[in-house]
Each structure stands twice: as structure tokens, then as C-alpha cells.
Amino acid sequence: MNALESALPFHVLIRAALRRVSALFAAYGDGEPDLDYRGLVRRAQEITIEESHLHWFDWRRWSNRQDQEMLMGGLIGTVAYSGDLTEFIPLLHLCETLHLGKQTAFGLGKIKIST
């Protein structure tokens, strides 16, 4: 059983968002964004899960390059967080467009923020 099947701690979500934004800024921008990574993660650890309806979903696709079926998976569902999310909202809204995690080229990692 995957430890993230039923819960996604907020700091894990923020770490993924920071990795994604940082990688894209490094590749296509003017270097890494000027963000307090440690401070953001530390403050994200104070945010709690209010309600979680997440589950793991496995998705299969055929890879012509590898000539085999590939198993990809991720979390699907909704999660509600409580705490002061104000400073994280711009980052999360950016990730609505950029997506998070692995396999974003296949459309995975989509998030939608509701406030």
C-alpha cells in the first residue's frame, strides 16, 4: 500500500510545486526564482488536512520507444486543507497551469485550486 493513497500532506504538495517551478525557471527563465524554500516548506508543515478523498489510480500506456506497456499512477480526488494558505495560493495557481510531479508531458499532475 502506498503511504500517499489516502492523504497528501500539504508540505509534500508544496515541495512538489517548488520543484516544478524551480526546474522550469532554471530551464526557461532567468535562473531559480527568489523564494525562501526552507521557510515555505516549514510553514507548509503547519497546514493540516481537513478532509481527504484521495485514492491511487494506475494508468497504463504503450511506449513505442521501449516497446512495452508502462504503468503510471498518481493520486485522484479532492483534499481540503486548513490553516493560513495565503502565501501559497499564487504558487498553487501557477501549478494549475504547470501541473505537478512526474509525467506532466502526458497531462498528469493536474491540480485545481478552490478557495
Residue type, 41: V
28 falls within a domain: yes
Q: How high is the mean pLDDT of the chain?
A: 88
Inter-residue contact 56 to 73 (CB < 8 Å): yes
- Please tell me the predicted confidence (pLDDT) of residue 61: 78
Report the number of distinct structural domains present in the chain: 1
pLDDT in tens, 9-40: 999 999 999 999 999 998 998 878 888 999 99
Inter-residue contact 95 to 21 (CB < 8 Å): yes
Please tell me what DSSP assigns to residue 64.
T
For the record, the C-alpha cell of 80 comes out as 481540503
83 falls within a domain: yes
For the record, the C-alpha cell of 48 comes out as 493540516
Range of the domain at 27: 10-106
Please tell me what DSSP assigns to residue 87.
G
113 falls within a domain: no
pLDDT tier at 60, thresholds 50, 70, 90: confident
Nearest Cα neighbor of 22 from 104, 91, 103, 109 is 91
87 falls within a domain: yes
5 falls within a domain: no
92 falls within a domain: yes
25 falls within a domain: yes
For the record, the C-alpha cell of 12 comes out as 509534500
- Please tell me the predicted confidence (pLDDT) of residue 62: 82
